[in-house]
Amino acid sequence: MTISNKLLGPGEPELVESSVPKRSRCSLTATHSGSRRTAPKQVRSRVVLVETGRVQFSWTTARHALAGTWRLSVACRAKKANAARVVAHGVVKVGAAGKGHSTSKRDGTALTRRVEVDVMHASTDGIGASGCEPTGTVLVRAGDWMQSRGGGVDVFSNGPKCTSLSNPYQCVELVNRLITAKGWSTRIRGDAWEFWDHASKTDFEQHPNGSGYIPVPGDVIVWYGSGDIGQYGHVQVVDSVSGSTVHVVQQNSAGARADLQISASGAIGGRSWPGNSEYVKGFLHAKKNVLSAAQAFNGHIVQWDGDRKTQKTAWWVSGGKRYWIPTSAVYYCLKNSGAPGPDVLTATVLDSLPDQNGAWVRCDSSGTGVGSGPPPTETDPGGPVDPNPPQPPPAPTTWAETTGSVAHTWTNYTNAGGSEGPTIASNQTVQIACKLTGFRVADGNTWWYRIAQSPWNGAYYVSADAFYNNGATSGSLRGTPFVDNNVANC
């Protein structure tokens, strides 16, 4: 018999594990011999059928448990046996309830508020498993998930039984290690189900399950439930989203990776296993969890929005740095190679992409890279010159639209996915380039806007459902149009 805590205080959890005969029915009995002031006391768990050869018993010590020594025994009855036999013994000691408590009625309280039994290889979130790696083994490397956010943190095994109530790598440990490593928030306290209420409202947005929100990489999925295991809930971290599939990572579970199905309304279904059930409360999105300019514009051609020259200076972004495009020939070579842009950026965004002074971009039949030596010029471009050099396009017509709630932006409007851009705050007015149809949100609206102004610069889209679409700038969104029909189609 293995006892996780041999000296218990009132209200503390206990976990007892024992080897038992396979395919037998087992129970645990805790017996207190009593004293001059108290009668003997005995508590017995429910009987459970054990197939695996190991069983665990867990409980929370009653707040005013009877102090003293409790003797534990595990008794099992094989399938064809006439009676049960004791297969393991152990002892735990319970301290007094504390100063100021009377010893008359309260000292007669049983050891436990409840004694629950579970087959040893049932995981904390209800997914059966066995044969996991030793505690502390890295199951998923930091760089192998959440790659659109620069990688996550290492995901560890919580022990050879896959799950444990006492080992350090709980599901909440993964979340707290991630959000502190990323600088998104301080630690969130409590059990997994409590993360929803305990997460800082300053640092996180709450999106209830089924509210129309589609999670993004780095979001925390919070589960709550009932039962001896389900009551603690569970938390998972979104790795990526592919259509209707949410790929997650997790600790203290049968698998470090899992796939969840999500509906068009942003709902993930519940799950259950014997005596337990769990349901998704919602998604916690860290407000600092946004793509950096280096991630958003990597491989793009960019320009400065304050450049008033007829032929604007342009750069190519690689590895979060800017490289000067010296000639129109190089510019068109990049465009023909599929480089997006030009994205017209503010000085603040442009400065976040350091200009590699003296370095220029090379583009030719051998590929794209950083040039060496003196850069080519328009009179000696080192390649064919486009007969129609680029001219500044006319100022585009845009439409001012105001949000009535927080709106998330995406590079892929067809599935509300791809890369996430900066969030648009509630009651913020932005310039819209055009409208088009795409992903259907919870109320059936399929209209999306392409955002013209910085820092989105035409590269990101937003659901028109979050906007008033009628000239209003405040008030309720109820009854407002799905889209502003004055906005041109893309």
Task: Give the CA angle between residues 270, 273, 275 to the nearest 5°.
Answer: 110
456: tokens are 């989105």
Report pLDDT for 101.
27
Is residue 382 predicted with pLDDT exceeding 50? no
Report yes or no on whether pTM surpasses 0.85.
no
The more confidently predicted of residues 273 and 396 is: 273
Instruction: Name the 3-class secondary structure at 56.
Output: strand
φ and ψ at 463, to 5 degrees? -65, 130
Q: How far is Cα of residue 305 from the mean position of the Cα atoms in its chain?
A: 35
Report pLDDT for 260.
92
- Give me the CATH topology for the region 138-286: endopeptidase fold (from Nostoc punctiforme) (3.90.1720)
Residue (of 336, 332, 318, 322) closest to 376 by Cα position: 332
Span 2-119: which CATH code? 2.20.130.20
Is residue 95 predicted with pLDDT exceeding 70? no
Tell me which range, 49-58, 154-163, 427-436, is most confidently predicted by mean pLDDT: 427-436
Rounded to whole angstroms, what are the CA distances from 342 to 34, 293, 312, 351? 82, 14, 10, 16
The more confidently predicted of residues 119 and 56 is: 56
Instruction: Determine the average pLDDT of the residues in 367-390.
Output: 65
Please count the other Cβ atoms lying within 10 Å of the Cβ belonging to residue 143. Answer: 11
Report pLDDT for 125.
35
The more confidently predicted of residues 425 and 47 is: 425
Residue 131 — very low, low, confident or very high, per pLDDT cuts 50/70/90?
Answer: very low
Instruction: Name the 3-class secondary structure at 67.
Output: coil
Residue 109 — very low, low, confident or very high, per pLDDT cuts 50/70/90?
Answer: very low
For the chain, the structural domain boundaries read 2-119, 138-286, 293-370, 399-466
Q: Does an H or E element contain 249, and which? A: strand 245-249
Report pLDDT for 33.
63
The more confidently predicted of residues 92 and 477 is: 477
Is residue 39 predicted with pLDDT exceeding 70? no
Mean model confidence pLDDT for the chain: 80
Report pLDDT for 246.
92
- For the stretch 189-232, pLDDT in tens is 988 999 999 999 999 999 999 988 889 899 999 999 988 788 88
CA distance linking residue 380 with residue 327, whole number of Å: 9
- For the stretch 134-153, pLDDT in tens is 888 899 999 889 877 778 99
Report pLDDT for 389.
47
> By percentage, how much of the chain surpasses pLDDT 70?
81
Report pLDDT for 65.
65
Is residue 388 predicted with pLDDT exceeding 60? no
Residue 265 — very low, low, confident or very high, per pLDDT cuts 50/70/90?
Answer: confident
- Give me the CATH topology for the region 293-370: OB fold (Dihydrolipoamide Acetyltransferase, E2P) (2.40.50)
Report pLDDT for 177.
95
* CA quadruple 56, 59, 61, 67: dihedral, nearest 10: -40
- Please say whether the beta carbons of 322 and 356 come within 8 A: yes
> By percentage, how much of the chain surpasses pLDDT 90?
31
Residue 490 — very low, low, confident or very high, per pLDDT cuts 50/70/90?
Answer: confident
The more confidently predicted of residues 44 and 212 is: 212
42-49 LR contacts (CB < 8 Å, sep 24+): 43/110, 43/111, 43/112, 43/115, 44/115, 45/115, 45/116, 45/117, 46/115, 46/116, 46/117, 47/117, 48/117, 48/118, 48/119, 49/23, 49/24, 49/25
- Please say whether the beta carbons of 6 and 72 come within 8 A: no
Residue (of 132, 309, 12, 11) closest to 3 by Cα position: 12
DSSP 335: H
- For the stretch 312-346, pLDDT in tens is 899 999 988 999 999 988 999 999 888 888 888 87
